[in-house]
Structure 1
């Protein structure tokens, strides 16, 4: 462990919660150099929806590498890219009646958000963006300006401008959309007409806050009436995490742009894209650039992910729903047994969690889970949400095993607190 403490920056974070050296991973399991095994309920913060080293993806990748397929090609044409674009069009966009062009950006989610914001401003000729309380969109300057988390914002070192914050659904019992529209209609409200609204339908890092279908429909209609672009950040909630490929499908809306990263690459390989309506594709060649916008290895595994799980999506969506119900049952039971310590369930699909009475309790439970073989993290403004984020491919028996560890950790922490109090 010495090499990490001596050489790696203090900015590291996840390893502080899980201070072991992992050397192998398969499915929903992580293994350390000493052979200890942990169930993974973190899944790369949503980057491993299809599990670690998915065998179908791995074989396709090995075959591609063995054939000396293109690894890096900037944005040049490649067979791997063509196959990904074809799979995305045939199995994702067309069945959902979505007409988008695809922009390949730098390899992480924040790169996709930066590109979407930049394009929105270019298309509308306005600089202002509207984002929401508790939103998280990345840590580069533009995306960070739209992020609400004070801890991350303080790391910028510069002013974060050109973003107006509106209350998300349920925030302090304020109807944020009514407030937003009232301010847009009032010439003295002091709000500049925005180029776009940026929203997560389920706020991941912000505490698993869920926007209802009705709220999203209101937001979409509001944007259309005022000639404002609607950008859905589906980086964490997309690729099946909420139960369908896109998190906004049940609302029936069609955003002007959608940002995807994390599990879009399938295998955990870096990849990010912006889906944009064709009329918004006003870029000049090379106007938004990036050396690593052509990760062909990710194209290979992304294609396999779409073909394997989404060409016929019903079995996979059914499995996600069943797993979600199992987690929900355990959360409901935990709340019923320990009233006062737990507040409510948050999120939807396999993007759900339990709200604890405070961040200290959530942290202690997560720590106890790790001590008993489960990697799980917290979220929310005060880290008060324990976040169940297992790979979507987890078996029901493995999921139950992890939930039993969670329940055991809850009992251990409560007993420890009782002893301290007495």
Structure 2
């Protein structure tokens, strides 16, 4: 790091936009990272339970991806290729077909969009509208699909929606699984409205959902509910879009979050960890019969990030060609569940949320969750919150985190929880 940057950390407050977010609660100046650890300018190390908000599922600076990328750059390999054929893109597509699509009997075409998840969502909604000739898209409470205006219309969070500065249209919001409690079948609610000519819902072009709502509080839909929604979409001539941007790439224990649920989405959106290395990359998977965009009808200058193709290929071949990797994810998911159960037991009315390696604890208030995460950060753990009130302490450790590192991270989290609860009790006693 340049000397003046370590001596004048106020450069961030002075020059960076007020839109900055994570750094406000975690102000360390990070300089290096490896695996599940971050190192900052003063030499302190942190365990990473955030992983680039699930963009670093395989950890920081995986040596095999790094080596392949350095070789590509050193050999003057293509860096930017629009949608030209390149050896790197072809190698990624071949690996993705062989190790991901074919074993899952998926015949989807791959469309590379702009580099962010919101770009993929925009493309998916636009394609569904083109195919069906309809404009309405059904999305769900607490869903998060991005903050560009089209994707933002499908996003539920009021704070983010308020940033649009204009009316957000073309989306009907319906209650997600469990939104009204376990006794209310929200799929039946949706079907009843769609079947009623006076239900007030325009015929949908698509139904878009996350199987686990990453930003919405780690709400995990039941497989039966997902299957019911898929059937409703089919019966009403709508496309089923599963947004697997945060929940995919192994985060839920399988490459796609919807595996073993008995559904085949018409469209799947992927981004975040699809590059494997934290490089910008997003794509949309679409059934062949729906691959109807004309040449450049939907495009993006940076849809050909060849460096991302290089690392993405290595990620697929290294981790998803070996069944042992997925088996290991199941074991780590159990470790996370047990550790979070211990944490939840300390907090009255706390609830476990999520599934796989996308789990957390709803502690009941954003203030408490924020205080726990802040205390954990002070002790060397990077972790964040989720939920409509930021009330969920959310674990997104890299999938490759060694069990001993996971345990050490949870020791920090448990200690932070104990300390914050003790502070609360002292404050109550002092009143």
TM norm structure 2: 0.96
Corresponding residue for 1:141?
A: 149
Mean Cα deviation higher: 170-179 or 114-123 = 170-179
Paired residues for 1:306-345 under 5 Å = 306-312=316-322, 314-336=323-345, 338-340=346-348, 342-345=349-352
1:410 aligned to 2:417?
Answer: yes
Tell me which of 21, 39, 45 is aligned to 1:37: 45
**Cα deviation digits, residues 250-283 of structure 1 (max 9, x gap):** 2021000000000000000000000000011111
Paired residues for 1:162-173 under 5 Å = 162-173=170-181
SS in 1 for 2:260: helix
1:386 aligned to 2:393?
Answer: yes
Corresponding residue for 1:82?
A: 90
1:187 aligned to 2:187?
Answer: no
Paired residues for 1:265-304 under 5 Å = 265-304=275-314
Tell me which of 172, 195, 199 is aligned to 2:209: 199
Distance 2:350 2:428 in 1: 21
Contact 1:167 1:175 in 2 (8 A): no
Tell me which of 154, 166, 177 is aligned to 1:158: 166
Corresponding residue for 2:188?
A: 178
Distance 1:284 1:318 in 2: 41
Contact 1:208 1:353 in 2 (8 A): yes
Corresponding residue for 1:361?
A: 368
**Cα deviation digits, residues 215-247 of structure 1 (max 9, x gap):** 111111111111110000000000000000000
Tell me which of 360, 363, 381 is aligned to 1:374: 381
Corresponding residue for 2:36?
A: 28
Distance 1:12 1:88 in 2: 34
Matched residue count: 419
1:102 aligned to 2:123?
Answer: no
Mean Cα deviation higher: 38-47 or 177-186 = 177-186
Distance 2:232 2:198 in 1: 19
- TM superposition shift of 1:335: 2.4
- TM superposition shift of 1:2: 1.1
Tell me which of 211, 214, 230 is aligned to 2:240: 230
Distance 1:149 1:225 in 2: 29
Structure 2: tracts of 5 or more residues without a match? 1-8
Distance 1:178 1:214 in 2: 12
**Cα deviation digits, residues 25-54 of structure 1 (max 9, x gap):** 000000001101000000000000000000
- TM superposition shift of 1:339: 4.4
Contact 1:57 1:305 in 2 (8 A): yes
Structure 1: 4+ residue segments shifted above 2 A: none
Structure 1: tracts of 5 or more residues without a match? none
Corresponding residue for 2:252?
A: 242
TM norm structure 1: 0.98
Mean Cα deviation higher: 283-292 or 256-265 = 283-292
Corresponding residue for 2:226?
A: 216
- TM superposition shift of 1:65: 0.5
